[in-house]
Chain A
């Protein structure tokens, strides 16, 4: 008899465990039932919200804003990161500025962006793009700078021009680190978008949904929106990982 391989199913144990603890907490009323609805109520709210309710719409709005912010960030930060990273001296001269703003909470920039872009979508997307761009920039520049010396020398000794070394070697060398930047960037963009949806006069989006449900004391709806946001973050990360595995097959080998 073949032993049954349990390993692929291990992650399910954690999920079942969490739901079990949750059930027990509700059953024995360890937590105030008003604050913690049962898993069944919550998943029903999630299901109804996604299939035809408003939650699905809010989910798509947040997804749109996050993707748009990440695309803008990537379009600006990747070329800039390559330019910075390919000259060590240029990088050293702007390193402090990049590091400083990377360490500045992007949420502190909301008021500034509000003044610049008003209370519309533009502000939410541009603050998220700003935060993501710095993360991507840093990683791309780092990846380019840390291109393996030997590989650059190998290209050079074969007669590659500076431009060819950049396009044929440095760019590809930096690709794994670029993906790290993209993944971190998209996560950060999602965080900023959700916060912006909560507090910057928004009529849709997951952040607004969570906030509104809380205001109305519709707890199952609130938890459903939180789970939807978690699913969104997890899904985006997974998507980038899969794309990365396709494009950067040599990563870590």
Chain B
């Protein structure tokens, strides 16, 4: 077996074919984005490998949310191109989980109807919507009373409903923007493992923005480290530990080394100021 260093230098990572036969799901080329008071991206290139979980980690305000909002078409880009499978993104099905679940779920709908909503938008017949939802709830082993309204659920339960709403359409790619940062620590640990389980079960290409380095590494196949504005790839690190990962993973040599490396890169970027 060929042993690979878990760390891939930025320059190599830029080359899409240089990544051990990974097929990119999303390719970003020459992406440029300016806001009135800041250039957030300037000719930015990125590949997101298919079937992998990529964590994005970077300084505050460097443009992590902006990046996934551009990939999902929520905000326009100034220049460059974003392709999914070599095609424009218009026909791609996304799942998107927002940080602020309180403001992302619809409080006038019961949890079950929140999950049902994207299927309704797809104009699926009622019977099919029901079976799809039930299948997903069963496969996740969710133990929430889905007939409640979101405001009757705990924060973690609400975010789980958001995740289910994003997954029920069987998206080709799932984006999560700091999904657990509004939850308490116990809930965060629980939700991490839920997300890992979902990822292992569905194999959906996943992009996770996290402000917690331990979480970013623990969940990731690749950790994308961004620089300050205008954001560039400071490093695109590999982490290949077997799944499912558990608490024991956190003390393994590989994990500690990758995390230390990421921290070093991050601090170097922040100090550049």
Q: Which residues of B contact A164 (CB under 8 A)?
A: 121
Chain A positions 131 through 161: 1 when the CB is less than 8 Å from some CB of chain B, otherwise 0: 0000000000000000011110110111110
Task: Confirm or deny: A250 has a beta carbon within 8 angstroms of a beta carbon on chain B.
Answer: yes
Chain B positions 77 through 120: 1 when the CB is less than 8 Å from some CB of chain A, otherwise 0: 00000000000000000101010100111111000000001100
Q: Which of B74, B118, B165 contacts A153 (CB 8 A)?
A: B74
Q: Are B106 and A151 in contact (CB under 8 A)?
A: yes
Q: Which residues of A contact B107 (CB under 8 A)?
A: 250, 253
Work out how many contacts link A and B, with CB atoms closer than 8 A: 48
Distance, CA A150 to CA B179, complexed state (A): 13
Task: Confirm or deny: A50 has a beta carbon within 8 angstroms of a beta carbon on chain B.
Answer: no
Task: Confirm or deny: B1 has a beta carbon within 8 angstroms of a beta carbon on chain A.
Answer: no
Q: Which residues of A contact B118 (CB under 8 A)?
A: 158-159
> Contacts A172-B106, A172-B108, A253-B151 given: A154-B98 contact, CB under 8 Å?
yes
Q: Which residues of B contact A159 (CB under 8 A)?
A: 118, 121-122
> Contacts A160-B121, A249-B149 given: A150-B103 contact, CB under 8 Å?
yes
Q: Which residues of B contact A175 (CB under 8 A)?
A: 108
Distance, CA A153 to CA B97, complexed state (A): 11
Task: Confirm or deny: B205 has a beta carbon within 8 angstroms of a beta carbon on chain A.
Answer: no
Q: Are A150 and B104 in contact (CB under 8 A)?
A: yes
Q: What is the chain B residue whose CB lies nearest that of A164? A: B121
Task: Confirm or deny: A169 has a beta carbon within 8 angstroms of a beta carbon on chain B.
Answer: yes
Instruction: Tell me how far the C-beta of A143 lies from the nearest C-beta in chain B, rounded to whole angstroms.
Output: 14
Q: Are B104 and A250 in contact (CB under 8 A)?
A: no
Distance, CA A151 to CA B162, complexed state (A): 12
Q: How large is the interface on A (under 10, 10 to 19, 20 to 34, 35 or more residues)?
A: 10 to 19
Task: Confirm or deny: B72 has a beta carbon within 8 angstroms of a beta carbon on chain A.
Answer: yes
Q: Which residues of B contact A172 (CB under 8 A)?
A: 106, 108
Q: Are A250 and B74 in contact (CB under 8 A)?
A: no
Q: What is the chain A residue whose CB lies nearest that of B175? A: A157
Q: Are A157 and B72 in contact (CB under 8 A)?
A: yes
Q: Are B74 and A151 in contact (CB under 8 A)?
A: no
Instruction: Tell me how far the C-beta of B84 lies from the nearest C-beta in chain A, rounded to whole angstroms.
Output: 14
Distance, CA A157 to CA B149, complexed state (A): 22
Q: Are B96 and A154 in contact (CB under 8 A)?
A: yes
> Contacts A157-B74, A159-B118 given: A151-B104 contact, CB under 8 Å?
yes
Q: What is the chain B residue whose CB lies nearest that of A159? A: B121
Instruction: Tell me how far the C-beta of B172 lies from the nearest C-beta in chain A, rounded to whole angstroms.
Output: 13
Distance, CA A72 to CA B105, complexed state (A): 34
Q: Which of B74, B106, B117 contacts A156 (CB 8 A)?
A: B74
Q: What is the chain B residue whose CB lies nearest that of A160? A: B121
> Contacts A164-B121, A249-B149, A250-B151 given: A157-B96 contact, CB under 8 Å?
yes
Distance, CA A250 to CA B151, complexed state (A): 7
Distance, CA A175 to CA B108, complexed state (A): 10
Instruction: Tell me how far the C-beta of B22 lies from the nearest C-beta in chain A, rounded to whole angstroms.
Output: 26
Distance, CA A148 to CA B121, complexed state (A): 20
Q: Are A250 and B108 in contact (CB under 8 A)?
A: yes
Q: Which residues of A contact B73 (CB under 8 A)?
A: 157
Q: What is the chain B residue whose CB lies nearest that of A247? A: B108
Q: Which residues of A contact B74 (CB under 8 A)?
A: 153, 156-157
Q: Which residues of B contact A250 (CB under 8 A)?
A: 107-108, 149, 151
Q: Which residues of A contact B151 (CB under 8 A)?
A: 250, 253
Distance, CA A185 to CA B270, complexed state (A): 54
Q: What is the chain B residue whose CB lies nearest that of A249? A: B149
Q: Which of B104, B108, B122 contacts A154 (CB 8 A)?
A: B104
Distance, CA A148 to CA B108, complexed state (A): 14
Distance, CA A159 to CA B165, complexed state (A): 13
Q: What is the chain A residue whose CB lies nearest that of B98? A: A150
Residues facing B in A101-158 (CB within 8 A) are 148-151, 153-154, 156-158
Instruction: Tell me how far the C-beta of B108 lies from the nearest C-beta in chain A, rounded to whole angstroms.
Output: 5
Q: What is the chain A residue whose CB lies nearest that of B114? A: A154
Distance, CA A156 to CA B98, complexed state (A): 13
Q: What is the chain A residue whose CB lies nearest that of B94? A: A157
Q: What is the chain B residue whose CB lies nearest that of A148? A: B103
Instruction: Tell me how far the C-beta of A243 lies from the nearest C-beta in chain B, rounded to whole angstroms.
Output: 15
Q: Which of A151, A158, A249, A253 contacts B103 (CB 8 A)?
A: A151
Q: Which residues of B contact A168 (CB under 8 A)?
A: 106, 117
Q: Are B100 and A150 in contact (CB under 8 A)?
A: yes
Question: 6 closest Cβ contacts across the A-B interface?
Answer: A250-B107, A253-B151, A150-B103, A158-B118, A157-B96, A148-B103
* A–B pairs, 30, beta carbons within 8 Å: A148-B103, A149-B103, A150-B100, A150-B104, A151-B104, A151-B106, A153-B69, A153-B74, A153-B96, A153-B98, A154-B96, A157-B73, A158-B117, A158-B118, A158-B121, A159-B118, A159-B121, A159-B122, A164-B121, A168-B106, A169-B106, A172-B106, A172-B108, A175-B108, A249-B149, A250-B108, A250-B149, A250-B151, A253-B107, A253-B151
